[in-house]
Amino acid sequence: MNKAFGTGFSTLKEYKEVSAITLKETSSERAHHIENIPGKQASLKILHAITLSSCLLSQDEAEQGLILFGDYVADEIASPNTHPNIRLLLDTIEDNLQWDVTVEI
């Protein structure tokens, strides 16, 4: 089966000037880093788009991100930790996490 990104993904801006995004969970030292490299560019594009206005990732942004990831969400649910950036969004919703987002140029 061919997987497809969700509704709205094709309209997202490319962020070629962004070298990475770092997320730091606000109530712990937990961090998550996404570099702008092949295989991670779709995740970077989605995470940047959903956090651009607030520089935060919380449940609302995570829900938007899951919509954009489309078919890949079911893949992550069926095989946990196959898609760590989707797992981050699922955990954010499930555990009511909030992340500060830093964009590196």
Alpha helices in 1-105 (DSSP H): 41-51, 59-69, 72-78, 84-94
User: Which residues are registered as beta bridge partners of 5?
Assistant: none
- At 71 the pLDDT is 97
Domain boundaries defined on the chain: 17-104
pLDDT digits (tens, 9 = 90+) for 40-94: 999 999 999 999 999 999 999 999 999 999 999 999 999 999 999 999 999 999 9
CB 38 within 8 A of CB 1: no
